[in-house]
Structure formats: C-alpha cells, structure tokens
Chains A and B, each alone.
Chain A
Amino acid sequence: MARLVMMLCPPRSFSSLVSTMIGQHPQIYGFPELHLVVRERLWEVMEWEVNRAKFLGPPGMLRAMAELMFGGQTPENVLTAANWLEDRKDWKSVDVMNMIMDKAEEKTGAIYCLEKTPNVSFVPPALERVRRNWPDALYIHVTRHPVGLKKSIEEYVSSLPRFSEEEKQARLDNAMSFWPITQRNILDFCGSLNPGQYIRIRGEDVLSDSHNVMSQVAEFLGLRTDDEAITAMLHPENSPYAYLGPPLAAYGNDMKFVSNPVFRPGKIRMPSLANFFETEEGAVFDDDRKAYLTQLANCLGYS
C-alpha cells in the first residue's frame, strides 16, 4: 500500500493550494479533503458531515471515489459513491481510508498518498488516530501568519450562507483563538513523532519561493527532485480535484482555490503581531494572551 503523507494545518492556511501542488508530484497521489480520520467509524463521519449540511457524505471522499472507483466525477458516480458509503456505515474510517489509498496506488502507481483535512488539527484525538493507524505516516506542517489567517477566516466565515448571523459572530469573535489552538495541537503532536517524520513549511514561502520549497518537500519524502517533477508541482490546476466537482459533491477543496486553481506566485507582505495588538481588535487581548501568541508565532518563524 502507498504510504500516507498527512498535511497538518489550520483551515485557511493556503492548504488547498499547497496540498494540490504537492499532490501533483508524479510519485504522489493528492486527495482532496477526505475527512475520514475526524471520527473512528464511518457513520460518525457521515453524521459530522450532515451537521455541516453535506448530506451525502464528505464531498472530497465522494469525488475521490467517483474518480478512482466508478469511472469519473459525474453526478451519477457521486450518487453511486454515496450509496457505497451508506451501505458500509459501520466500517472503521481507517479501513475506508486504506481502501481509497489502495485504489489510488492501483490506478496511478503512487508511492505516497497525500491527505489534508484541516479540521483534524482542532481535535487531538483525531491526530492520535492517524498516528496509531499509520505509524509510518509522514507529516507536512503548513503554517501561515496568525494575523493573515485571522483575516482569511473572517472573510470566509462572512461568506458562508449556512451560518446564522449569531453563529457567524461567535466564530468571528473567536477567529484569533483558532490559530494558537491548532498550532499548539500540531506542535505537541509533532513532538511525539520520530525525528525525520515531519517537515514544517510556511505557506507564504510556497508563494514566494515555490521551486525551492517544493524541492525541499520532495527531498524530505525521498522522491524525485528533477525539473520535470518540480515543474509538475507548480501546476495545481492539473489535479482532477482543482475544479468544481459534480453537484452534491462540488468542493473538497477551498472554494476560492477551485474558482481559480492556477498557481500565482508572489511575495506576501507579512503582517506584524505588534501592529495588530495596537488595533482595536488586537487590544482586546490581555498581556498573557499577547505574550503567548507572540511566543508561539516566533517559534514558527513569524513576528
């Protein structure tokens, strides 16, 4: 079976772009968000999706199944995939995940399968589930500056029609806490891994220095680093999951990414936490929280 590479990051960390880029390496199969590892059993995963108004199951998983098992991403094949999942709701999530990884390897000969489900980084038991079920998995930790992430979350939450105004406000009020929570979870988790089992990259560096960062990732995984392989990684638009999927399973990647999946490199102006703390939004944090955020940001290479 292909070996699992898990991307660890909070939502809104360029994760769709970065994971699709890495997944375009000729020896890697890049999945969209499968969401399987968030719960132990498949029926629990399905319940979690229903709560997110995804009534047929994880859209990314439905798309991957339609693509790899049923002959392509059509509405009919998505329904067949949904039926397949529905009929196996008592399966363990790990078995479903191994099944789809086997299909990816069979179809493409991939050495690695790359999965990213940003919600995993909110739930330490889910991280542990991954470690327990795939002891030889490798991890790529993708970071983004906390202020940039906060702004991106605010923009995203405001655009979501499924939340009431009250729910949106609660998320907006807590947007800044998402960053330290997920980063701390990931750092604590990575601390228990074997040396050499994970690598950390900054999303901003992928945008400004893509060729070097992608080469670093390929080298970390022990894969080809020739020009052809690295150039393939700079074309996320070639992924079968880089575009809007069929009705009922349209996404599985960030909606902004699928609307324009071509890689557009550039240097991002890095925000400053010190400046943020001087704004009205930043002033609400007490000294303990400010010091904690600053320390964690410094630890990840941000100021």
Chain B
Amino acid sequence: MGPLADGISNFRDEWDNFLPSELAESGVPLNREEFSLRDPFSEDYSNFRQEQSDNKRANESVDDDIRADLLEKPFLMKNPVEEGARGAAAVWRSLRDQLHEETLLLIDSSGETELQMLRRELLAQKAIVEAVSLGLKAQLDRLDSTLSAIVAENSNKKSGVND
C-alpha cells in the first residue's frame, strides 16, 4: 500500500501489520484474540472499534460517490465546515508546489509565450485565493466579535481548579 492510499484507520490493520515475531518478550497482548479475551471490557472495546471501522468504511464509500459530482452539485455537500477543511487542505496541497523549485525553474527558463500563459494561470489562482481569503476574513471578523463577548462573559469562571 502506498502512502495515504487507504484513508481508513482499521483496528484489524493495527494488529495484523504488527509482526509478533519481531518482538521481544512482552507484557501486553500482541494479537486481537488475546486482547479480546483478556477481560470483559477489552471485548467491549474490541467490538466498538470494529464497528467504528466498519461504519467508517461504509461512510467513505458513500462519500466517494458524492464527491464525484461535488463540484457540479454543490448542494450535495452535507457539512460545509467539514468540506471547508477538506477543501482548504486540497487547495493548499495543490498550490503548494507552485511556490517551490519546479515553478521557479519554469519561470526562469521559459520563453515569452509560456511565461504569458503561466502568468494568466498564476493570476487566476491568486484571484481565487484572494476571493476565498476575503470571505474567510469576513467570517473571522464575525467570529472574533462573538468570541470576545463570550470571553468577557466567561472571564469570571476561570478561577476554579484545573480539569
């Protein structure tokens, strides 16, 4: 499996990818069966994690179907906050390479036509990032004003012990 190929954290993988033969003598259970049979809570937890990874796998496959059409059908986005986080990461990952050697080399070594095309592309990307940045700034301003009201309200409650 390649890096980040499978986005699912699976309880089974956690155990099966670990080779007991490589280990020195140990005080902890090193296979799932041994773990599950250890005590009633270990069995409960093992079942909980298995159920969790099964649900996640099922949700991931639904999400993949949705994502295929996401740009054409934005109304399919169920959770704008989650999509925003994923979107920000995707934008960052895709634009990040622009800021490094390959693009710099291209700028330094291209002819006029290529440079004009590259310029248009970079300007378009810059415009998109700036538009999103403006929208986020407005959201942040609104958030900051709500937050300062809450902080003022809570400032007296911070005298208790740590929890």
Chain A residues engaging chain B, CB cutoff 8 angstroms: 14, 17, 40, 43, 46-48, 50-51, 53, 55-56, 79, 83, 89-90, 123-125, 127-128, 131-132, 152, 161-162, 166-167, 170, 174, 177-178, 180-181, 184-185, 188-193, 207, 256-257, 260, 263-268, 286, 288-289, 292-293
Chain B residues engaging chain A, CB cutoff 8 angstroms: 3-4, 6-9, 14-15, 17-18, 22-30, 35, 38-42, 44-45, 48, 51-52, 55-56, 81-82, 85-86, 88-89, 92-93, 96, 100, 158-163
Q: How far does the alpha carbon of A293 sit from the alpha carbon of B44 in the complex, in Å?
A: 13
Question: Given the known A-B contacts A181-B41, A184-B38, A292-B39, are A264 and B4 also in contact in the complex, defined by CB atoms under 8 Å?
Answer: no
Contacts of B88 in A (CB 8 A): 55
Question: Given the known A-B contacts A47-B7, A51-B8, A162-B82, are A180 and B28 also in contact in the complex, defined by CB atoms under 8 Å?
Answer: no
Contacts of B23 in A (CB 8 A): 128, 132
Contacts of B55 in A (CB 8 A): 166-167, 170
Question: What is the chain A residue whose CB lies nearest that of B158?
Answer: A260
Q: How far does the alpha carbon of A244 sit from the alpha carbon of B95 in the complex, in Å?
A: 26
B29–A188 touching, CB < 8 Å: yes
Q: How far does the alpha carbon of A207 sit from the alpha carbon of B160 in the complex, in Å?
A: 11
Question: Given the known A-B contacts A177-B44, A180-B41, A292-B41, are A48 and B4 also in contact in the complex, defined by CB atoms under 8 Å?
Answer: no
B28–A192 touching, CB < 8 Å: yes
B42–A181 touching, CB < 8 Å: yes
B27–A46 touching, CB < 8 Å: no
Partner of A83, one of B17, B39, B96: B96
Q: Give the shortest distance, in Å, between A78 (CB) and chain B (any CB).
A: 11
Q: How far does the alpha carbon of A181 sit from the alpha carbon of B45 in the complex, in Å?
A: 7
Question: Given the known A-B contacts A177-B45, A181-B45, are A192 and B27 also in contact in the complex, defined by CB atoms under 8 Å?
Answer: yes
Question: What is the chain A residue whose CB lies nearest that of B34?
Answer: A124
B15–A125 touching, CB < 8 Å: yes
A265–B42 touching, CB < 8 Å: no
Q: How far does the alpha carbon of A244 sit from the alpha carbon of B114 in the complex, in Å?
A: 44
Q: Give the shortest distance, in Å, between A288 (CB) and chain B (any CB).
A: 5
Q: Give the shortest distance, in Å, between B148 (CB) and chain A (any CB).
A: 14
Told that A256-B163, A264-B160 touch, could you supply 11 new A-B pairs with CB distance under 8 A? A14-B163, A40-B18, A53-B82, A83-B100, A125-B18, A174-B44, A181-B41, A184-B38, A207-B161, A266-B162, A292-B39
Question: Given the known A-B contacts A132-B23, A192-B25, are A265 and B161 also in contact in the complex, defined by CB atoms under 8 Å?
Answer: yes
Question: What is the chain B residue whose CB lies nearest that of A186?
Answer: B28
Contacts of B7 in A (CB 8 A): 47, 50-51
Q: Give the shortest distance, in Å, between B23 (CB) and chain A (any CB).
A: 6
Leading 7 A-B pairs by shortest Cβ distance: A192-B27, A266-B161, A55-B89, A124-B28, A43-B3, A125-B18, A180-B41
Contacts of A263 in B (CB 8 A): 162
Contacts of A177 in B (CB 8 A): 41, 44-45, 48
Q: How far does the alpha carbon of A264 sit from the alpha carbon of B162 in the complex, in Å?
A: 6
Q: Give the shortest distance, in Å, between B135 (CB) and chain A (any CB).
A: 16
Contacts of A188 in B (CB 8 A): 27-29
Q: Could you list 22 A-B pairs, sorted by A, with CB under 8 Å? A: A43-B4, A89-B3, A125-B14, A125-B30, A128-B26, A128-B28, A132-B24, A162-B82, A170-B48, A170-B52, A178-B45, A180-B39, A180-B41, A181-B42, A188-B28, A189-B27, A207-B162, A266-B161, A267-B161, A288-B40, A292-B39, A292-B40
Contacts of B159 in A (CB 8 A): 264
Contacts of A293 in B (CB 8 A): 41
Q: Give the shortest distance, in Å, between B86 (CB) and chain A (any CB).
A: 8
Partner of A55, one of B22, B52, B85, B100: B85
B161–A268 touching, CB < 8 Å: yes
Q: How far does the alpha carbon of A43 sit from the alpha carbon of B3 in the complex, in Å?
A: 5
A128–B158 touching, CB < 8 Å: no
Contacts of B25 in A (CB 8 A): 192
Contacts of B26 in A (CB 8 A): 124, 128, 131, 192
Question: What is the chain B residue whose CB lies nearest that of A53?
Answer: B85
B35–A47 touching, CB < 8 Å: no
Contacts of B92 in A (CB 8 A): 55-56, 79
B51–A170 touching, CB < 8 Å: yes
Partner of A17, one of B81, B100, B162: B162
